[in-house]
Amino acid sequence: MLTKSNFMQFLRCSCELWLVKQRPDLVPPIDPALQRIFDEGNVVDAWAQKLFPGGVNVDGFGKPAAENTKKAIANGATILLQPTFMTAKLSCRCDILTKNADGSWDIYEVKSSTDVKEEHITDVAFQRICIEEAGIRISRTFLVHINNQYVRNGEIDPEQLFSKVDVTHEVENVMPMAKKEIPRALAVLDWEKMPRLMHVMSCNDPAECEFLACYFSEFKDDDKYSIAASLPKEKLVTFIERGLITPDQVPADVMAELGDIKLPNTKAEPTLSIDKDAIRSELDGLQYPLYFLDYETQHSAVPTFDGYRPYQQMVFQYSVHVVREPGMEPEHYEFLADQPKDPASMVAESLKKHIGDVGSVIVWNARFEASRNAEIGEHLPEFADFMADINNRIYDLMMIVKKGYYVDSRFGGSASIKRVLPVMCPELSYNDLTIHEGGTASASWATLTNPAIPVDQREQLRKDMLAYCGLDTYAMYAIFLKLLTSCS
């Protein structure tokens, strides 16, 4: 069976669809950040169902769910929640269907996004094709998405939380394309369980596809040799550059035709460009004490607390390293809210104890921290002046890299602190931490504040979250010292 999720996977990359259906053992595990997105989608679906009181929830999955859907319709249900429809080869589980007076039905597809996206239209087009082939007449199709202008005040108001958009015309325009692609997607389901040349040849974007590496992990060296001889030049070059095929796995005559190509892990001499005068001018403008500040935030499609909009970033943690005078060792202060309540006032009160009235506040990517400060000031008027004052003193250390004052070729053209730190301060590494990046840190707050989680597990998670945020600010301090040295 080809489900609507399978169809969307196929449109992204046939490699993804094949792996999911035939070799799920090769698919990378779901990380906490992605799992949180899935969980959030379930929450949004539940709230959207409240827009349709009296709806009949259709239980089950697959064939049992399709039978339960037929029974609900036969019993006179006019609003179906999570109904399933199946044909000989297609299957789809919809969010909401409502029956019209003329016997036709309308589709309401619920999305966690704040607007209508192109892939949403294709998603609904597949549903309509499947449902109509199952014998149900469809009249109109709607997208139900999050209204990001809604501000929670008391109980959630589903009518304000969501926007309904009639996309009937757009779906009708996409249906011919979908009908053409469905047979091609079904053909992928018949591929053998062992990866073959046809699999890698079908990849839509070999330069970026994250699934190709899973394929090549199954190939024997002899297979790679024969595959290399059969690939078009452009794809072969891409596979070599990505390290999926090594030069010794390519026939000598084919390799000679490729000319000069970029081989992975090639040891090239790094290039370094330092504008000492510009860096010195930037750093001379800083005022001590220096406060190296970083926030961790969490956001939800459905606002958790009053005064928040959907997807508004909520600060629940900060780290600050304070350097009182030039040459002094930094003092470290931190805060992590660990209770399931609005952390804004606790964050602001704690921050006010550690950031004085004078001194530069140093961040990495000022737009993010400055926006959070402004939102806290708007959310808590009693702290508005304090947060505005911090913004008036913010200095973005990232701009020294961004403006090209300090550029190392090993940054790979990026100004991300995750790329800059290992080059400038190789003694420091996020890889040594349990939590390596912000998405996982953000997803961890719901676990930390869940009283059902065992105390020892929460305590360990707390330590891991503090360590991650603490490294963010110490990393800025370490990079600052290297910049000082570079322009001396």
Token pair recorded at residue 460 = 């360990």
CB-based contacts of 486, cutoff 8 Å, min separation 6: 274, 276, 279, 406
CB-based contacts of 224, cutoff 8 Å, min separation 6: 216, 245, 249
| Cβ atoms 319, 332 nearer than 8 A | yes
| Cβ atoms 21, 189 nearer than 8 A | yes
What ranges in 291-392 are assigned the alpha helix state H?
Answer: 344-354, 366-379, 384-392
CA–CA separation, 420 and 407 (whole Å): 9
Tell me which of 3.40.50, 1.10.287, 2.120.10, 3.30.420 is the CATH number of domain 274-486.
Answer: 3.30.420
CA–CA separation, 91 and 21 (whole Å): 14
CA–CA separation, 202 and 221 (whole Å): 21
Provide the pLDDT for residue 70.
95
Domains of the chain, residue spans: 2-188, 197-258, 274-486
Provide the pLDDT for residue 217.
78
Fold of 2-188: Lambda Exonuclease; Chain A (3.90.320)
Provide the pLDDT for residue 264.
65
Entry pTM? 0.85
Map tokens 């995750």 to a residue: 418
| Cβ atoms 316, 445 nearer than 8 A | yes
Spans in the chain with pLDDT lower than 70:
33, 195, 260, 262-268
Provide the pLDDT for residue 73.
95
CA–CA separation, 406 and 424 (whole Å): 10
Map tokens 């004078």 to a residue: 358
Provide the pLDDT for residue 267.
62
